[in-house]
Structures are given as C-alpha cells and as structure tokens.
Amino acid sequence: MGDKKQENDIQKLSKKKKKFLSLRSVFFYFYILAIGSIFYYSNTLVETKIENHKESVYLNTSEDILAKFDILLKERINSSTIIAIALSKNLSIQNALIANDPSKISFNTILDEVNIKKEYVDLQMEIINKDGINFVRSWNELSGDNLIKDNENLRELFRNPKISTSITASKFGLTITNKIPIFHKSILIGFFGLNLQLDSLTDVFKEKGFKSIIVLNALDSNNIIQNLSHTQKFIEDKYIVNKNADKYLMRVIRDNGINKEYCKVWDKSYHLEYASGHFVSKYIIKSENSSDKANVFIFKNLVDIKFPNIKSIQQIHLMTSLVIIIVIAFMMVLVYSRMKVKIVDKENRALIVINEDLSMKAKEMDFNDKKLENLFNMQPNLMMMHNGKEITQANQRFMGFFNRFKTFVGFREEHKCVCELFEPYDAPNYISTSEIDGLFWIDYILKNPKRMYKVVISYTDKRMSEPHHFIIKLNEMEYAKKIADRLIIIALVDMTQDLVNYKSLEELSKMKELESNEK
C-alpha cells in the first residue's frame, strides 16, 4: 500500500516536472520571439527617427538659405533705391530738364560723383521729362519715345508723384526698377529712372557658397526682347535671367523637366536631386500684384549638409533596446520564479513598466530640449524668450552684444526687460517706452503686427560709440499657454550698417549739392 502511494507521488512529481519543463520551454521561445520583435521594431523606429531628423535638418537648411536670399534681395532693393535717390539729386539733371537740353547730362559724371560699390556698376539710367517722353538714356542714344502712352504705372506716377521701386522684366532681363520724381520749385519736371539687373545677385550669393538659377515666368519670358547686349538662355519656354548661369545646373533642370518638376508647386520648400547630388531650394520672387514673377533655384551640395544627431539617435535607441531586453529578461525570470513558487505580484510589475516608460520619455524630453537650445543659440540675431513679464532666456549672440554681463542671470538682475535699454529716436515706428497706448510693448506689437517696429540700443562696450538700430520680430507660441506661462520669441535684427550706408550716401549727396551751389 505504501509502495503504491509512493509510486503515485513519483508519477505526480514526474508530471509536475514535465509540466514545469514545458512551461520553461514556452518562456524560452517567448523570450527569443520578444528579442526578435524588439530588434525589428527598434530598427524601424530608428529609421523613422533618422528620417525625421533628416527632414528637420533639410527644412532648417532650406529656411536658412531662403532667409539669406530674402535678406540679400531686400538689401539689394533698398540699396538700389538709395543709389537712385542719390543720383537723382545731381543738379545737372534738373538743369538739363529745365533747359530742355539732353547734352547737359553726362551719366559717367553723375556716377563718378557717388561712391557706388562694384556690385552695383551694372546700372541703366534714363531721364523722363514732364510730358512722359524719354529725355535721355544711358544704354543708347535713342530718345523721344512716349513712355507714358502704354504704361499705366508710369501714368499713375505722373498723377501722384512719389518714389517707386518694383521688380520688372525688360529687355535687360529681371531688374529692380526705380523711378525718382524730380521737382523744381515744387513743380514736377520729370523722373529719374534707375534699373539694376538682378542677375548680379546670384554672383554675390555664389560668394556665400550657393549656386543659383533665376527662371522667369512664361508670360514675361515671351516678352523678352533679343539684343546683343544681353546673352539670353532659355530652358524650354522659360528665360534664364542670370548671364553666367551654371551650364551643368541648367542641364539638371532641363533633364528633370522645368515645367514638369521645377516650376510646379512644391509640397516642400526644398527638392532633393540625388542623381546630381544637390539640395535645391526654391525662392519665389513676387510682382507688385503678388503673382509669381520668377523662381530662384538655389543649389547646395548634398554632401555639405551634415546630420549631427544621427549617431546619438542610433546610440540612444540601441541602449533603449538593450535596456528593454534586459528588463523583459528580468521580468520573465521574475514571473518564472514567481510561477514556480506561485507568488504573483501584479502591482510591482506594473510599476516597473511605468518607471521604464517615464525614463524613456525623460530621455526624449532632455534630448529635444538640448536640440532646441542649440538651434536657439545658433541664430545670428539677438534672440530672447519672454513670458510676458520678464526675459527667461537669451541666446549667445544676445550675450555677446551685452558683453559687460558675464552671465544671463547678471543681465536679468539689472534689467528685467530689454525695453529698459530702448532709447528715444525721432522716426516712425521706433519704440522707446515699455508701454504704447496703455499696452505692454510686446502685447502692442502682437496686436498690431503689420508695421515694422524698430528700436535703438546703445552698445555697452565703450569702444563702440554709435547706437545700434534693430528691427523687432515677435512670435508667440500658442501651445505654451496650455502648458504653463506664455512663451514669446523675440528677435532683434541689426540694421545699423544699412542706416550707416544710407546716411553716408545722403551726406555725400548734400555735400555735392552744396559744392554745386557755391559754384
């Protein structure tokens, strides 16, 4: 009887052992499957993260390129207007119009009296008399054309004389066209016209490391007049504005189809040309009526674009995968052991999962914070973060400007608001106080965003005596209100040098005018 009971116990023990061994095999196979799944999905996630990182770098690169070109174009437009104004003040122009004698005008003499940078030498000038008739022009000896007859914009200028600057297509290509009214005893006696070709803009941009192709729209391309003074290039029905356009890049555009690929509406601000190894950004030059005047395709070598965070993304995800695998192994061992002794503690297992999830999220947040901080500090302008009450953060360019403060904390201890440093300046849209019409200056600008606001701030280093002029740009992050305080990004764009150049030209013009009067 005892032997039979012992045999039964042995059989039960054997069955339990087989069941336990079978359960151990199930755990082993599940662990192998889990490891394979983790590596598969982790690899997929890494590829997605890398693609997102590349997309972010491409977008930032494109935005940076387009911003630089936009600044360069606006500087060129502003400079051409300043040059036109300075040239128009030459007394020989007024005297010739009064005497109705074109021979009194020497364009070379007019140019010699104004110090113009070498990139502005490719200028065309003309003078229009009070009847809208071409009086004299610099590019040929023809005159007497009735310019006002078929030009509604010019007729409007004669009705309401004012300085006019626009981008137009003419037989010279794409030009910045300036019309400056000339008065004698408060009576309009004519207009001084200055055309500056935009193709030279690509040469300046090339010095910054970018090659460009400017493509005129189809309508204006059809109206371009062939002449020996201007080498014309076409891709299909589109006129290529820049004279020294890179032939290889023109072939790249032609091979991809200018109308099929390049001049259609892009879903992004950039295009990847893997075959030729180029990163292409598209800047659209608008006409006065906001229609597309020309497309500027800016090329950058793909190999010159760096992705600094790819290695860290791979390392982070590799470490995360290893941590997850170790955690799963530990959990399986824990479950296996607890099943062996029939002890299950569900709460502890849930806490482990939650802690791991929080750890991953904390790492991701820390990574994103560092990335945003690097982008913030890389900005060339004076950048600040403001919560509506005080400055909370400033970039390296800001601290470099206010260099008498060793730290941002030191700056904020003395100045809670940068508006404390605004200086009075008698000119439109300059801000010198912390409140405007009862509103905090930041809230006032956000409420009235259409104007271009400016401030004057003196440089804190005693070696610099001149005050600096800045354009203010604000952007409030709406999502921040849902999380905590307000988040307002403030950018101060230094325009001091532009004003210095303008004043130099204006003073030179006044000196020439005084010298002419004395004679």
Q: What is the pLDDT of residues 48-83, one digit of tens each?
A: 888 888 888 888 888 898 898 888 888 888 988 998
Q: Give the residue-averaged pLDDT of 397-426.
A: 88
Alpha helix positions (H), 259-345: 310-340
Q: Give the residue-averaged pLDDT of 113-130.
A: 77
In sequence order, the β-bridge partners of residue 193 are 126, 179
Q: Give the residue-averaged pLDDT of 411-416.
A: 88
Is residue 408's pLDDT more than 80? Answer: yes
Confidence of residue 309 (pLDDT cuts 50, 70, 90): confident
> Can you give the pLDDT at residue 447?
92
Query: Residue 278 to residues 271, 298, 490: CA-CA distances in angstroms?
Result: 9, 10, 34
Is residue 307's pLDDT more than 60? Answer: yes
Give percent above pLDDT 70 in the chain. 76
Confidence of residue 492 (pLDDT cuts 50, 70, 90): very high
- Pair of tokens at residue 43: 């690899």
> Can you give the pLDDT at residue 33?
75
CA dist 102 and 124 (Å) reads 16
> Can you give the pLDDT at residue 445?
92
Q: Give the residue-averaged pLDDT of 376-395.
A: 88
Backbone angles phi and psi of 517, in degrees to 5: -65, -35
Q: Give the residue-averaged pLDDT of 329-346.
A: 62
> Can you give the pLDDT at residue 188?
93
Is residue 5's pLDDT more than 70? Answer: no
Backbone angles phi and psi of 94, in degrees to 5: -65, -40
Q: Give the residue-averaged pLDDT of 150-157.
A: 87
**DSSP code at position 145:** -
- Pair of tokens at residue 226: 């062939």
**Residue 304 burial (CB count, 10 A):** 10
Confidence of residue 229 (pLDDT cuts 50, 70, 90): very low
Out of 11-20, 460-469, 489-498, 509-518, pick the least confident: 11-20
Q: Please tell me whether residue 479 adopts helix, strand or coil conformation.
A: helix
At the top level of CATH, the class of 89-197 is: alpha beta
* Residue given tokens 């437009």 in the structure block: 77
CA dist 166 and 177 (Å) reads 5
* Residue given tokens 């590799």 in the structure block: 318
> Can you give the pLDDT at residue 486?
85
Is residue 331's pLDDT more than 80? Answer: no
> Can you give the pLDDT at residue 117?
62
Out of 81-95, 162-176, 337-351, pick the least confident: 337-351
Q: Give the residue-averaged pLDDT of 147-153.
A: 85
> Can you give the pLDDT at residue 344?
39
Cα torsion angle, 339, 343, 346, 352, sign: negative
State which of 13-17, 205-209, 444-448 shows the largest mean pLDDT: 444-448
Confidence of residue 178 (pLDDT cuts 50, 70, 90): very high
Task: Give, rounded to a whole angstrom, the gap between the first and last alpha carbons of the chain.
Answer: 143
Is residue 306's pLDDT more than 70? Answer: yes
> Can you give the pLDDT at residue 350?
43
Q: Give the residue-averaged pLDDT of 140-168.
A: 87
Confidence of residue 246 (pLDDT cuts 50, 70, 90): confident
> Can you give the pLDDT at residue 343?
39
Q: Which tops the pLDDT comparison, 301 or 323? A: 301
Contacts 24+ apart (CB under 8 A), 128-135: 128/154, 128/190, 128/191, 128/193, 129/97, 129/100, 129/189, 129/190, 130/97, 130/188, 130/189, 130/190, 132/158, 135/96, 135/97, 135/102, 135/190
Confidence of residue 456 (pLDDT cuts 50, 70, 90): very high
Confidence of residue 232 (pLDDT cuts 50, 70, 90): low
> Can you give the pLDDT at residue 252?
83
Q: Give the residue-averaged pLDDT of 148-152.
A: 84
> Can you give the pLDDT at residue 351?
43
- Pair of tokens at residue 148: 């006002």
Q: Give the residue-averaged pLDDT of 380-392.
A: 89
CA dist 77 and 83 (Å) reads 10
Q: Give the residue-averaged pLDDT of 233-253.
A: 81
> Can you give the pLDDT at residue 452?
92
What pTM does this model have? 0.52
Burial category of 80 from C-beta neighbours within 10 Å (exposed 0-12, middle 13-18, buried 19 and up): buried
Q: Give the residue-averaged pLDDT of 90-107.
A: 90
Q: Give the residue-averaged pLDDT of 233-240.
A: 79
Q: Taking all residues of the chain, what is their mean pLDDT, rounded to a whole number? A: 79
Confidence of residue 348 (pLDDT cuts 50, 70, 90): very low
Confidence of residue 474 (pLDDT cuts 50, 70, 90): very high
Q: Which tops the pLDDT comparison, 351 or 251? A: 251
- Pair of tokens at residue 517: 């009067």
> Can you give the pLDDT at residue 454?
94
Distance of CA 306 to the CA centre of its chain: 18
At the top level of CATH, the class of 379-504 is: alpha beta
Query: Residue 449 to residues 443, 446, 452: CA-CA distances in angstroms?
Result: 10, 5, 8
Torsion of CA 200, 205, 208, 212, to 10 degrees: -120
